[in-house]
Structure 1
Amino acid sequence: MGGPGDPPEGTPEGGPGGAEDEYRSVVFDESFVRAARLQEYSAEERMADHAPAVRRRPLHRGLVRQAMVLALLIAVAFGTAVYMGVRHPYDSAEAPRPVEPLRMTVIPLAPQGRVPGGTDAETLYAHSPAAQFDIGAEGVPLPAARATAHFSDSQVMTALTTAKDYIVRSSLYPEVLTGHETAPARALVDSDQLAQFDQSFARPAADGRHAPTGWVVRLDPARDRLADDRIRVRGVLRLTEADPATLEVSADHTFVYALRPTGTASTPVSLLTVRRALTFRFTRDDLRTRQVQLITAYVEAGPLSCAADSTSYLHPLLAGQAPHPGAPAGTDPYRTDSPASLCGTLATGSQPRA
């Protein structure tokens, strides 16, 4: 027997049973009907020609407003994502340090006797501590470039290669070594240091700021010439992040030059050894322009005479020569703006063996 709401003859076969009618309790109240997107036309409206059975109602004003807000949020999120993608992930808001002037120290090393010489450069190199050194720029190898906290690996590589380029130009280019040119090295100097660079060569001074030999390795062309352009080199480069806006590269290299007096072809060859310890600084602008800030230069060179002036040129003692008697220029302790005059003794073991 059917339920109270079923037909007397029971539920038709195939139709839903009373217990199975899950929609029986649903009440379509007035708010539900008004919210429907589709609305049935009235009988009078349907009598019109070609009138559809139902019409589409416009969206509720609240729904339109919600859709507009959602679209605005999506646009803002997309714009933020684009901005973050374009902005370099390693950029820093910290202002770079002001460019400092180069501070330099040039120390001549005097031999303890006469300078040994030889008939050719290869023999001298083979009997010197430079026998296993590399030749030319190969002696300035680059370390692995790894990103720092605020600089990418490509920026680190740019700093290292630019520092190497300056070292090669200022220590190995023949036109720079022989005192004829400064442009190859000058082209890599930060624009804020160019005035100091130019003054150093125009008006050299032993004041720790304006010695050309602090910027480059420089020989007097009227006195010395290269006997072999295959200069021996050994050293290292090290990079650190000084602060979020600055990279620093420390370079420490030893260069060995084979020399003869200018204007001669058969005189004995001698060796000049120059150690250069340089500190470079790079801001993001320097990396972009591939220029360096040279912050410190510590130079040791020998065999030289302590009494000779090494400000404008290095004046090496050549084969068979002995150091001139005399001491470095006097140091005035009352002048705090002038560095002390220094001189060292060249170790016997650093000279070629006979």
Structure 2
Amino acid sequence: MGAGTEPDGSSRSDEEWERFLRESVAGVTDAPKEPSARARDVAKRLRSEPDRSLEGWRNYTPARPKRRTGWYVVGLLASLVLLAVALAPGRIVGLFGGADSSPLAAETARPTQAPPAQVAQRPTMDEPFRGSPAARWASGAAGITVPKAQAVGWMSAAEVERALARSRDFLVASSLDRAVLRGQRPEKAMALINPHQRDVQDLLKTAFRTPSEKNNPLLLFSRFQPSRTHLVGDVVKTRGRLTYREGKRGALQVTADVTFVYPVTRAGEDGDEIVRTIVRRELILSWDDPEKVITEPGTFSIVSYKYDMTNGGCGAPTGYFTPPFGTDRQTDQAGTEIDPYDRSAPVGRGESSADECQKATRS
């Protein structure tokens, strides 16, 4: 064993030990000091645990228990969903049942198929279009698409644009005007019809006074009898479009194909029964060249008119739509079935008579 031994068993050289003794006796201030026993013990322990030597007690962070917050959040959300289903099941079904409630884009061409089936939901006074494809349709004139105008026949592009706007004005005045819907005469709409068109003027003279199968105001106008039927809310849903081409003698021929959905309830009752009367009209209007046809400025001639109607009543014409309520709805269970929201098929002649009604497959 050498002259000095370290705690770990290593030895100092004889020269270092002699130097240590000599400088200690001489009292040299910077003489090396022999480590204390405790210091040597600590040094030995640190060397035997090198991984711990870099970790100071001041920067030590104890491990925290993991919080299981995820399950609490999931449970809370599930509880809220169950509560919402209990309070408003219809809306939740609409949100999560695959029904899309976003507004439809404007119709620019005839669709290739009927709208998809909706979740069965009863309409309410606050949501009269609930459970219907019309819930996604635009309201009023906004649902009638007007194409870009170009010069046609005797009309310039600017004149075609004005004629298209007035054609839509006729649809608004005949099928959306609130006064007309409540049974008043459609004066604004009639003012747009060529006063020299004899057959249509004869219809207008007799239709409101003595309505019949041949002279029925419902051929051109939408009207409800206020003593029997009340409109629900201020909105009528619409979907359709105008198209145009050159007609006879260079005339501008405008075709309007529009579906109107009217939510109504029985007048004089506080019940919540709502019926949707659905009317699809197809009108062909001719804006004639005044040099070739006798007409008045700003008016058109009616080439043809036809419509499909459901939930508007059966039997002899009265000049008004007569939606069926309560037990009267059983009367409309016979007749030709029609999907009133299917705009992919051509418009038929939807006049209801005592012998046949149009039965809606959905409303």
TM-score interval for Structure 1 and Structure 2 normalised by the shorter chain:
0.5 to 0.7
- Alignment of 1:303 onto 2:311: yes
Which protein shows a greater Rg? 2
Aligned pair partner of 1:120 in 111, 116, 125: 125
| Contact 1:212/1:311 (<8 A) preserved | no
Question: What displacement does 1:151 show?
Answer: 2.3
DSSP-derived class of the 1:118 partner: coil
For residues 327 and 345 of structure 1, the distance between their equivalents in structure 2, rounded to whole angstroms, comes to 8
- Alignment of 1:187 onto 2:218: no
Alpha carbons of structure 1 residues 312 and 280: separation in structure 2 relative to 1, 3 Å = same
TM-score, length basis structure 2 = 0.55
- Alignment of 1:317 onto 2:324: yes
Alpha carbons of structure 1 residues 298 and 323: separation in structure 2 relative to 1, 3 Å = farther
For residues 238 and 340 of structure 1, the distance between their equivalents in structure 2, rounded to whole angstroms, comes to 28
| Contact 1:146/1:156 (<8 A) preserved | yes
The number of equivalent residue pairs is: 222
Superimposed CA distance per residue, residues 21-73 of structure 1 (whole angstroms, 9 cap, x where no aligned partner): xxxxxxxxxxxxxxxxxxxxxxxxxxxxxxxxxxxxxxxxxxxxxxxxxxxxx
Alpha carbons of structure 1 residues 235 and 200: separation in structure 2 relative to 1, 3 Å = same
Question: What displacement does 1:143 show?
Answer: 0.5
Superimposed CA distance per residue, residues 311-346 of structure 1 (whole angstroms, 9 cap, x where no aligned partner): 511111236752327978xxxxxxxxxx99573543
For residues 141 and 152 of structure 2, the distance between their equivalents in structure 1, rounded to whole angstroms, comes to 26
Aligned to 2:115: none
Aligned pair partner of 1:268 in 267, 270, 273: 273
Alpha carbons of structure 1 residues 173 and 321: separation in structure 2 relative to 1, 3 Å = same
DSSP-derived class of the 1:221 partner: coil
Gaps of 5+ in 1: 1-115, 329-338
For residues 298 and 164 of structure 1, the distance between their equivalents in structure 2, rounded to whole angstroms, comes to 17
For residues 235 and 332 of structure 2, the distance between their equivalents in structure 1, rounded to whole angstroms, comes to 33
Letter in 2 for 1:221: P
| Contact 1:248/1:279 (<8 A) preserved | yes
Superimposed CA distance per residue, residues 193-237 of structure 1 (whole angstroms, 9 cap, x where no aligned partner): 434312222222212xx1111120111222111111211000010
DSSP-derived class of the 1:130 partner: helix
For residues 318 and 253 of structure 1, the distance between their equivalents in structure 2, rounded to whole angstroms, comes to 25
Question: What displacement does 1:183 show?
Answer: 1.2
Letter in 1 for 2:136: Q
| Contact 1:117/1:270 (<8 A) preserved | no
- The runs of 4+ residues in structure 1 deviating greater than 6 Å are 325-328
Aligned to 1:38: none
- Alignment of 1:343 onto 2:356: yes
> Which piece of structure 1 moves more, 161-170 or 180-189?
180-189
DSSP-derived class of the 1:179 partner: coil
- Alignment of 1:205 onto 2:219: no
Aligned to 2:159: 155
For residues 222 and 257 of structure 2, the distance between their equivalents in structure 1, rounded to whole angstroms, comes to 14
Aligned to 1:291: 299
Alpha carbons of structure 1 residues 302 and 347: separation in structure 2 relative to 1, 3 Å = closer
For residues 326 and 126 of structure 1, the distance between their equivalents in structure 2, rounded to whole angstroms, comes to 22
Question: What displacement does 1:269 show?
Answer: 2.2
Gaps of 5+ in 2: 1-120, 336-350
Aligned to 2:138: 134
Question: What displacement does 1:305 show?
Answer: 4.4
**Structure with greater contact order relative to length (CA < 8 Å, sep ≥ 6):** 1
TM-score, length basis structure 1 = 0.56
